[in-house]
A and B are shown apart, each in its own frame.
Chain A
Amino acid sequence: MRPDAVRGHLDGLILAVLEAGPRHGYAVIEGLQARSGGALDLPTGTVYPALRRLERAGWLSGTWSTVGGRERRTYTLTRAGRHALSVQRAEWGEFSRVVGGILRGPEEQAT
């Protein structure tokens, strides 16, 4: 998938990966790649500043801690972040329903 197609949705994708529990930066990247089946071809460097931006918005809280003997910054979804995720899910559902309905070919529409 082209990176510019993903960019506008990166916030929601990151929030979704963190829904299951706290993760550090590289684990978020791994989560994005795993959940996209490897189809998400985004420069991984875009994820770190996005995490900080989401933290600034109050959607994530980040703390430094020692994981496996190394310093890592771990992010947790906040209550506001859960709400933002549910809003993004609803908006995406609406968008994909509308655009999908228009893009569907005539044969598909007949069935």
Chain B
Amino acid sequence: MTDPDPVDLHVAALARRLRGPARLRRSMLAETRAGLRDAAAAHRDAAAAVAEFGSVAEIAPAYQAELTAAQGRRTALLLVALFPALVLGWDLLWSSGVAWTGPAPAAVRLLAGVQDVASWGITALAVVLLVLTLRSRADERRLALAAGGLGALGAVLCGGTAVAMNLANLRQSTAMVAGSPLALLAIVLSALALVLVLTSTARALRLAVRPDH
């Protein structure tokens, strides 16, 4: 049996400390392993390469900061893409004739207005966050916290108003879904979009509040 390679051990120890988007995490670890192998070849000594690299405790926070920033950016990007898509998709559906047949109660019209304003407001704020993630000196935990908070707010406001609107106008909603498979598909896709937002949001919030970096 051969001794475990110091480079592999060090990269594995670093990997255990890092959380975040899987592909970026893999890519950063692969790059680090290749760099450590280059250093080991240059020094003809893997242990020296590892010593020069720095301890996991010393180095991991900078790696984690990048992963947290990437998750914040990813969540912001999702909000920028999904909220306008939801508003425009439903507008398209309404204008193509898939709609309630009678006049909606005043409460429902009010909720629809709230939903539109919330959707565009969330989108605008998410664009601001996206621009902030481009700055190399941005505080990544605050950005992840903001993106996560914004996503959660958007999901609650838009999902909540959608459910409330349909409950307040249940008879017409049921008739619309029964009369058009497209309406059912739109509801399923909207629910999926909200699940995506909530998943990404939860990931961003988890990284933002991690106590160990």
Q: Which residues of A contact B (CB under 8 A)?
A: 11, 24-27, 29-30, 43-46, 48-50, 52-54, 56-59, 64, 70-73
A73 touches B134 (CB 8 A): no
B42 contacts which of A30, A53, A59, A72 (Cβ < 8 Å)?
Answer: A30
Given contacts A26-B39, A70-B34, is CB(A44)–CB(B52) below 8 Å? yes
Identity of the chain A residue whose Cβ is nearest the Cβ of B24 in the assembled complex: A52
Cβ–Cβ contact A46 & B136, under 8 A: no
Give which listed residue, B28, B30, B63, contacts A71 with CB less than 8 A.
Answer: B30
Interface size class on chain B is 20 to 34
Q: Is the interface of A mostly helix, strand, loop or mixed?
A: helix
Q: B181 contacts the other chain (Cβ, under 8 Å)? A: no
Query: In the complex, how many angstroms separate the beta carbon of B57 from the nearest chain A beta carbon?
Result: 11
Q: Report the Cα distance A48→B24, complex, angstroms.
A: 13
Q: Find chain A residues with CB under 8 A from B37 CB.
A: 70
B101-139: contact bitstring with A at CB < 8 Å (1 yes, 0 no)? 000000000000000000000000000000001111000
Contact stretch, chosen from B64-72, B75-83, B147-155, B189-197: B64-72
Chain B residues in the interface with A (C-beta under 8 A): 24, 27-28, 30-32, 34-35, 37-39, 42, 52-54, 58-59, 62-63, 65-66, 69-70, 73, 133-136
CA distance A11 to B136 in the complex (A): 9
**Nearest-neighbor residue (CB-CB) of B52 within chain A:** A44
Instruction: With both chains docked as a complex, state the minimum distance between the C-beta of B171 and any C-beta of chain A, in angstroms.
Output: 51
Known contacts: A53-B66, A56-B70. The answer to whether A25 contacts B35 by CB under 8 A is yes
Residues of chain A within 8 A of B59, CB atoms compared: 43, 45-46, 49
Q: How far is the CA of A84 from the CA of B2 in the complex (A)?
A: 48
CB distance B69 to A45 under 8 Å?
no
CB pair B34–A56 under 8 Å, yes or no, is: no
Given A44-B35, A73-B34, does the pair A49, B136 have CB atoms closer than 8 Å? no
Interface of B, helix, strand, loop or mixed by DSSP: helix
Q: How far is the CA of A72 from the CA of B41 in the complex (A)?
A: 15
- Separation in Å of the B14 CB from the closest CB of chain A? 8
Chain B residue with minimal CB distance to A58? B134
Residues of B with C-beta under 8 A to A29: 35, 39
Is B39's CB under 8 angstroms from A48's CB?
Answer: no
Identify 11 new A-B residue pairs, CB closer than 8 A, beyond the known A57-B136, A73-B30: A24-B35, A25-B32, A25-B35, A44-B52, A45-B54, A48-B32, A48-B35, A52-B24, A54-B136, A56-B70, A70-B37
Contacts of B35 in A (CB 8 A): 24-26, 29, 44, 48
Q: How far is the CB of B33 from chain A (nearest CB, A)?
A: 10
CA distance A57 to B73 in the complex (A): 12
**Nearest A-chain residue to B41, judged by Cβ:** A26
